[in-house]
Amino acid sequence: MSTPSSANPSQALVDLAAADLMGPGVTFCPNPRMALWSNHPKVFIDVAKTGEGRCPYCGNVYRLRAAETVGAAH
């Protein structure tokens, strides 16, 4: 999981690999790399349907990397 720098530090774009996801295409915010002072209640964000999702608290955008796919592993 990487967090590129942004012009607005309160909103960041977080690129995700399929391996970074929990369960069926879900990630969570705040992520472990966020500063302690910026914590908010944990929310789960679905990125499987559209390839990205936004945190309703801080506005961070979580985006699945290009060429990454979410699928069932059997």
Q: Is 54 helix (H, G, I), strand (E, B) or coil?
A: strand
Distance CA(53)–CA(63), nearest Å, equals 7
Distance CA(55)–CA(38), nearest Å, equals 13
- Using 50, 70 and 90 to split pLDDT, how confident is the model at 39? confident
Distance CA(27)–CA(31), nearest Å, equals 9
Distance CA(62)–CA(50), nearest Å, equals 11
- Using 50, 70 and 90 to split pLDDT, how confident is the model at 6? very low
User: Mean pLDDT across the chain, nearest whole number?
Assistant: 81
pLDDT tens per residue, range 50-60: 999 999 999 99
